[in-house]
Amino acid sequence: MRTAGNLAGAIPVPIAEELDLYKRYLKALGSVAELLLEETSEQNLTEVLQLLVATTGISCCALFLNKPEKNAHGANLYCTWSSSEAVSRLSDFMQFREIDYQKYPLLFDTLHAGMVFSKNIAELPQAEAMLFATQKIHTVLCIPLLMQGEMEGFLGLFSRDETRSWQPVEVNVLCAITNSLALALVRKRAEQNLEASTQRLKALVGATEDMIIEYDLGGHILNAWTDNHTFSIGLDSNITGLALEQVLPNDMAQAIQLATPKLLAGSNRETFEFTLNIGDTDRFFLGRLQMLPSETGQARNMVALIRDVTELMQEEAQRLSMLETLNLLEEAIIDLSLDGLLLNFSAAWSKLLDLPCEHTNGHPGKPLTDFVYPDDRPALISVIQQLASGTMHSDVVRFRLLHGKGSIWIEAHLLAHRSLQGQVTTLRGVLRDITSSYLQERRITQMALHDALTQLPNRILLEEHLHQSIARAQRRKGKVALGFIDVDHFKHINDTLGHKAGDTVLVTLSKRLQSVLREMDTLSRWGGDEFVVLLPDANCEEDIRRIAERLRDAARESIDLGGIETKLTLSIGLAIYPDDADSPETLMSMADHTMFHAKSAGRNNVQFFQDIRDKILDR
Residues 471, 596 within the same domain = yes
Query: Residue 446: pLDDT band by 50, 70, 90 thresholds?
Result: low
Rounded mean pLDDT, 247-276: 88
CATH number at residue 94: 3.30.450.40
User: Once rounded to an integer, what is the mean pLDDT over residues 179-204?
Assistant: 70
Q: Are residues 548 and 496 in the same domain?
A: yes
15: confidence class by pLDDT, cuts 50, 70, 90: confident
Strand partners of residue 134: none
Is residue 65 located within the same domain as residue 122?
Answer: yes
More confident residue, 498 or 382: 382
Pairing of strands 332-336, 605-608: unpaired
Residue 399, phi-psi category: left (phi > 0), alpha (psi -120 to 50), beta (remainder): beta
Range of lowest pLDDT (130-134, 317-321, 418-422, 459-463)? 317-321
41 and 166 belong to one structural domain: yes
Angstrom distance (rounded) from CA 402 to CA 372? 6
- Residue 167 pLDDT exceeds 50: yes
> Are 455 and 600 in a shared domain?
yes
Q: pLDDT for 359-412, tens place per residue?
A: 888 899 999 999 998 888 999 999 999 999 988 888 889 898 988 778 888 888
CB 283 within 8 A of CB 295: no
Examine residue 76 and state whether it is found in any structural domain, yes or no. yes
Lowest mean pLDDT among 95-104, 290-299, 516-525: 290-299
Contact 457, 378 (CB under 8 A): no
Count of residues for the chain? 619
Q: Give the pLDDT confidence score for residue 84 in this predicted structure.
A: 61
Residue 92: partners with Cβ closer than 8 Å, 6 or more residues away: 135
Among 418, 439, 460, the domain-final residue is 439
* Same domain as 182, residue 61: yes
Q: How far apart are CA 413 and CA 401, in angstroms?
A: 14
CA angle 13, 18, 22 (to 5 degrees): 150
Decide if 196 is inside a domain: no
Query: Under DSSP, is residue 415 helix (H, G, I), strand (E, B) or coil?
Result: strand
Element (H, E) at 458: none
Percentage with pLDDT > 90 across the chain = 17
Q: In whole angstroms, what is the distance from residue 558 CA to residue 594 CA?
A: 26
Instruction: Give the residue among 265, 258, 320, 247 at the shortest CA–CA distance from 287.
Output: 258
In a domain, 67, yes or no: yes
Q: Lowest-confidence range among 223-232, 373-382, 488-497, 505-514? A: 223-232
Residue 479 has pLDDT above 80, yes or no: yes
Q: What integer is the mean pLDDT of 262-282?
A: 84
State mean pLDDT over 53-79: 86
Does residue 195 lie in a domain region? no
Taking residues 253-262, what's their average pLDDT?
90
- For residues 484 and 491, the answer to whether their CB atoms sit within 8 Å is no
Task: Determine, yes or no, domain membership for 426.
Answer: yes
Of 398, 416, 439, the residue that ends a domain is 439
CA–CA gap between residue 575 and residue 468 (Å, rounded): 17
Residue 2 Rama label (left phi>0; alpha psi -120 to 50; beta) = beta
Residue 198 pLDDT level (bands cut at 50, 70, 90): very low
Do 361 and 276 lie in one domain? The reply is no
Range of weakest confidence among 17-21, 92-96, 432-436: 92-96
- How many Cβ atoms from other residues are within 10 Å of residue 100's Cβ? 12
Same domain membership, residue 252 and residue 164: no
Same domain, 563 and 474: yes
pLDDT top residue among 347 and 318: 347
Do residue 180 and residue 293 come from a single domain? Answer: no
> What tens digit of pLDDT does each residue of 70-95 get?
777 889 888 888 876 544 444 556 66
User: Which has the closest alpha carbon to 297: 184, 213, 218?
Assistant: 184
Per-residue pLDDT, 553: 86
User: Is residue 43 within 8 Å of residue 52, measured between CB atoms?
Assistant: no
Domain endpoint, select from 140, 156, 188: 188
Q: Over 60: is that where the pLDDT of 509 sits?
A: yes
What is the pLDDT at residue 97?
A: 83
Domain count, the chain: 4
At 256, which CATH number?
Answer: 3.30.450.20
Boundaries of domain holding 529: 450-617
On whether both 559 and 456 belong to a single domain, the answer is: yes
Residue 194 has pLDDT above 70, yes or no: no
Res 531 pLDDT > 90: yes
In a domain, 335, yes or no: yes
Dist. CA 75–CA 124, nearest whole Å: 20
- Do residues 411 and 454 share a domain? no
Q: What is the average pLDDT value for the chain, to the nearest integer?
A: 82
| 177/2: higher pLDDT | 177
Average of pLDDT values for 216-231?
76
Q: Are 121 and 138 in contact (CB under 8 A)?
A: yes
User: How many Cα atoms are found within 13 Å in the side-chain-facing hemisphere of 402?
Assistant: 11
